[in-house]
């Protein structure tokens, strides 16, 4: 085999790179070096990384190289360079959570997901940019700068796992692990044109993750293909809730027929969506219908109630973490103004409101469950708008004004409230070339079904193969 | 065997009554009738019962009689008349929770503990008086009257499981099941001179119990002997956390030696205790020391912090239940003034304070755990004062004034906060003849050790054999 140029190497899928590593066509050190060179070239503009752990990564890659050359096989992540969101603790590698307060924090343990990735032989190449303390959705970070959208660097990447999405979309890593409290994996995945999965609440351990809101926090994978997301999920799922990745996807002909039912929500999810995004979602659903999927209208009349309830939970739990860690109010002046304002707002939530909000979950989850008893997945946009410009705080959707923050999380956060798994997959671009994400929401613990549907869609389209120039 | 007079029948231990039933020396219907006659005679003054379920109990007793005569043996509770605290749902039998709001509530299911008791063949004879919604510690109930202390009917029984304690102490039932959120089993047990156990948090299901504070609520047994408490616990423990009662206690000679260590807390538990109570606890510990127990001073310097934290949790969770059930504020005027005032106070607790309080539990539990790694049980009073007079709101302890409410729960509620099992056993009387309770607090899930220590103490003393005249 002739050597692949760096660009092509860096855009291999995890599955492809793994096969080349296993057959010793490339080595873990070569793969790492190609990735590090690309990071060096592109990160100054994109600002995807807060910390690049080149030396530590080189050690890991060398170990993987020795193991592979001895015939030891740790599975598909063995020797694969992965960046990790910087609110996930990495032993010996600085973990800032995007904050000034933790700017010198070097954990003495790995988060459970990082242990699992290391055990699987992954090479942790660095820590990706995020909204400060993951408490925001644009990744405009006052301490480390905005993670810039690789499709248009005047635009945000989305947050809070923006750095992870930028890195993966730009070939600065083969996949990443992020966190999602209100859409923080799915939104940047959608805005940057990659695949992101928020698993079922409880599937992936949050131990060693700097918490935002313990009742809503989820850890999950971002990657350039459904198959790669599935491989990552299989590795990071907890022992108590294991997930087995499907076997390598076979080449699929147009003849393959869908055998599933999609639910199109009459309420809430399509209430105020950008025209081009609505058209892309409709086209995606039409395509799946042509391949045999059945589409049903479904009714979710209480789902809107989850917004206020989820906000109260997050406000209260976030404040509790920042108080009990001793960060707030003692170091209030070290927070960015948006996060500080939200902590101040948290003090206004009463315990009764908080407990009431928690008590709303079964009722609203039951509504999803009733719909999901009839359909395999609920379709929605991942976000109702494409990536806004950096600095923009208000958008206009179909003539109505809405804050960027409210618009971005509006259709992603219900699945955090109810704990249902939800996935974002690229399904189009706007006239300005910005990626659009299709959201699929599935039954608790049935990530497999969501990934199966997404795999079929992916096999019929090329959206996931587009690369930012 | 010559027939036992009613009094003697009604004061048999569960173990003794069970043996007589098994040998058909008495029948379940005879045992029930003796109990019902006694209730008819004594309850008008004592006010232990809110509902007497004579007809339903007779059906149950007849069924037990048929089963026993066919040789079917459901175990030591088969055919035994038991009253149940009236915040525990009983299918077909009114369950008021001591409230006006639920004064006509007839549940269509049994609470888990009631199912377990019925399965074991127990005869549910009625529902016992309690503080309104279990939200108070004196059992001065504005809707059903005070449950009166059988040792002096001008005094309170203690609460909130006062009716259960009065019934058991007076031979109006062989044992009972109550609830304990801040001491509500141990306090009335101590004030009425019987044994009461708050098990480890999670040992006994609270499903079907009208909640007071879900993080602090425990269900547990009250009886006239440690052995009977143990039999009841074995029956009501959940399948996930089973408890096996020790075999029937053998007769114990003075030669039996203790092989355990008791912790005497330097802090908190003896800070402000009535002189006669302190003397009784000291005498009890001395007696155990003479029998071979080792006594160590232990330090519990943070335990006082549990008071405010526990109060915040209870205030918030109680309000949440009363709001989400639709009772409050809609029917605020149907509450007694004390409970209503506490619900009003609940609205002032912020979510951050509530979450902070929950977060304090591991720290304070760790302090108990550290002590309990060195000793088998921590000794304390069950309550720092004997039963106050009905209507009394302030007491003077060693010259200092304290509200009755605060004094009564002060040393019992830490074990609710941390979930440790805690037992109250009679250990003396005041100069006015009022019972005194010794509290033993043990390691999580190790009720067996507490009961073993209590059994030894009981075998050396006659306090548990005293009967109110």
Specify which residues B237 forms β-bridges with: B204
Does the beta carbon of B354 lie under 8 angstroms from any beta carbon of chain A? yes
pLDDT level of residue B3 (50, 70, 90 thresholds): low
Q: Do A354 and B351 touch (CB under 8 A)?
A: yes
Which of A216, A355, A356, A360 should be substituted to probe chain B, the one whose Cβ sees the most B Cβ atoms within 10 Å? A355
Q: Do B80 and B18 form a contact (C-beta atoms < 8 A)?
A: yes
pLDDT at position B206 is 98
Catalytic residue among A160, A164, A412, A424: A160
Which chain A residue is nearest to residue B320, measuring alpha carbons?
A352
B315 within domain boundaries: no
Q: Quote the longest CA-to-CA distance of chain B.
A: 66
Burial environment of residue B181 by CB neighbours within 10 A (0 to 12, 13 to 18, 19 or more): buried
Say what the pTM is: 0.90
Alpha carbon of B357: minimum distance to chain A alpha carbons (Å): 10
B274 within domain boundaries: no
B374 within domain boundaries: no
Which chain A residue is nearest to residue B319, measuring alpha carbons?
A352
Q: Count of CB contacts below 8 A, A vs B?
A: 67
E strand spans, B167-323: 175-180, 195-198, 218-223, 261-265, 294-298
CA B441 to chain centre: 14
Q: Do B356 and A323 touch (CB under 8 A)?
A: yes
d(CA A359, CA A376) in angstroms, rounded, equals 26
Does the beta carbon of A325 lie under 8 angstroms from any beta carbon of chain B? no
Specify which residues B90 forms β-bridges with: B93
Segments forming the whole domain that contains residue B230: 6-236
pLDDT at position B288 is 97
B270 within domain boundaries: no
Q: What angle do CA B398, B401, B402 make, to 5 degrees?
A: 110
Which of A329, A350, A353, A363 should be substituted to probe chain B, the one whose Cβ sees the most B Cβ atoms within 10 Å? A350
Number of independent structural domains in chain A: 1
d(CA B107, CA B89) in angstroms, rounded, equals 6
Does the beta carbon of B130 lie under 8 angstroms from any beta carbon of chain A? no
CATH code for the domain in which residue A101 is found? 3.90.1300.10
Residue A3 has pLDDT above 80, yes or no: no
Write the secondary structure of B4-46 as one string of H (helix), E (strand) and C (coil).
CCHHHHHCCCHHHHHHHHHCCCCCHHHHHHHHHHHHHHHHHHH
Q: Do B350 and A350 touch (CB under 8 A)?
A: yes
A177 within domain boundaries: yes
Name the residue facing A320 among B315, B348, B356 (closest C-beta): B356
Which chain A residue is nearest to residue B352, measuring alpha carbons?
A320
Strands A81-85 and A377-381, by their bridges, are unpaired
Which of B322, B351, B355, B363 should be substituted to probe chain A, the one whose Cβ sees the most A Cβ atoms within 10 Å? B351
The predicted model gives B369-384 an average pLDDT of: 98
pLDDT at position B251 is 47
A161 within domain boundaries: yes
A418 within domain boundaries: no
Catalytic residue among A18, A27, A85, A230: A85
Task: Look up residue A96 and give its two tokens.
Answer: 């800032």
Specify which residues B178 forms β-bridges with: B220
Residues above pLDDT 90, as percent of chain A: 95
Q: State the sign of the Cα–Cα–Cα–Cα dihedral B55, B58, B63, B66.
A: negative
Catalytic amino acids of B? 85, 160, 184
What is chain A's mean pLDDT, rounded? 95
Task: Look up residue A155 and give its two tokens.
Answer: 């635009």
What pLDDT, in 10s, does the model give residues B78-88? Answer: 999 999 999 99
What pLDDT, in 10s, does the model give residues A347-403? Answer: 999 999 999 999 999 999 999 999 999 999 999 999 999 999 999 999 999 999 999
Count of other CB atoms within 10 angstroms of residue A252: 12
Q: Do B197 and B246 form a contact (C-beta atoms < 8 A)?
A: no
Q: Which residues of B370-393 are buried (b: 16+ CB within 10 A; e: fewer)?
A: ebbeebbbbbbbbbbbbbbebeee
Q: State the sign of the Cα–Cα–Cα–Cα dihedral A297, A302, A304, A310.
A: negative
Q: Do B317 and A355 touch (CB under 8 A)?
A: yes
Burial environment of residue B19 by CB neighbours within 10 A (0 to 12, 13 to 18, 19 or more): middle
E strand spans, B103-217: 123-128, 175-180, 195-198
Task: Look up residue B316 and give its two tokens.
Answer: 């918030």
Residue B248 has pLDDT above 70, yes or no: no
The predicted model gives A79-101 an average pLDDT of: 98
B153 within domain boundaries: yes
Residues above pLDDT 90, as percent of chain B: 95
SS3 B250: coil
pLDDT at position B246 is 79
d(CA B178, CA B184) in angstroms, rounded, equals 8
Instruction: Name residue, tokens 């960027």.
Output: A404
Residue A256 has pLDDT above 70, yes or no: no
Residues 305-324, chain B, touching A (beta carbon < 8 A): 312, 315-317, 319-320, 323-324
Q: Do A350 and B355 touch (CB under 8 A)?
A: no
Specify which residues B439 forms β-bridges with: B380, B424
């Amino acid at each position: 085999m002739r050597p692949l140029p760096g660009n092509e190497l860096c855009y291999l899928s995890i599955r492809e790179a793994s096969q080349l590593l296993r057959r010793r066509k490339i080595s873990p050190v070569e793969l790492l070096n190609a990735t590090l060179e690309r990071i060096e070239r592109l990160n100054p503009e994109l600002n995807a990384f807060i910390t690049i752990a080149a030396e530590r990564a080189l050690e890991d890659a060398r170990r993987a190289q020795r193991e592979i050359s001895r015939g030891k096989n740790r599975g598909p992540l063995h020797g694969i360079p992965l960046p990790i969101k910087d609110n996930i603790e990495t032993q010996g590698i600085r973990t800032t959570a995007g904050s000034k307060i933790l700017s010198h924090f070097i954990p003495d343990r790995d988060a459970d997901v990082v242990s699992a990735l290391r055990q699987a032989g992954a090479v942790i190449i660095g820590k990706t940019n995020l909204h400060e303390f993951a408490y925001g959705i644009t990744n405009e970070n006052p301490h480390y700068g905005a993670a810039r959208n690789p499709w248009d660097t005047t635009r945000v990447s989305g947050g809070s796992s923006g750095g992870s999405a930028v890195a993966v979309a730009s070939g600065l890593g083969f996949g990443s692990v992020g966190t999602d409290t209100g859409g923080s994996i799915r939104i940047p995945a959608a805005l940057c044109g990659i695949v992101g999965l928020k698993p079922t609440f409880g599937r992936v351990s949050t131990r060693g993750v700097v918490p935002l809101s313990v009742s809503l926090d989820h850890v999950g994978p971002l990657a350039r293909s459904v198959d790669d997301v599935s491989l990552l999920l299989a590795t990071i799922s907890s022992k108590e809730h294991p997930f087995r990745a499907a076997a390598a996807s076979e080449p699929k002909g147009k003849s393959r027929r869908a055998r599933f039912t999609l639910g199109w929500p009459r309420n809430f999810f399509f209430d105020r969506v950008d025209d081009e995004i609505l058209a892309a979602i409709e086209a995606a659903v039409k395509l799946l219908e042509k391949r045999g999927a059945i589409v049903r209208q479904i009714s979710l009349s209480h789902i809107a109630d989850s917004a206020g309830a989820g906000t109260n939970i997050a406000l209260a739990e976030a404040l509790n973490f920042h108080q009990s860690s001793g960060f707030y109010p003692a170091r209030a002046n070290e927070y960015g103004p948006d996060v500080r304002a939200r902590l101040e707002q948290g003090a206004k939530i009463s315990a009764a409101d908080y407990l009431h909000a928690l008590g709303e979950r079964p009722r609203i989850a039951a509504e999803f469950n009733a719909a999901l008893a009839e359909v395999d997945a609920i379709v929605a946009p991942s976000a109702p708008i494409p990536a806004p410009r950096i600095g923009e705080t208000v958008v206009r959707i179909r003539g109505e004004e809405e804050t960027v923050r409210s618009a971005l999380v509006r259709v992603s956060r219900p699945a955090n409230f109810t704990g249902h798994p939800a996935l974002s997959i690229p399904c189009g671009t706007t006239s300005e070339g910005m990626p659009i994400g299709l959201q699929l929401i599935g039954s608790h613990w049935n990530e497999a079904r969501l990934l199966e549907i997404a795999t079929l869609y992916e096999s019929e389209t090329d959206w996931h193969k587009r690369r930012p120039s």
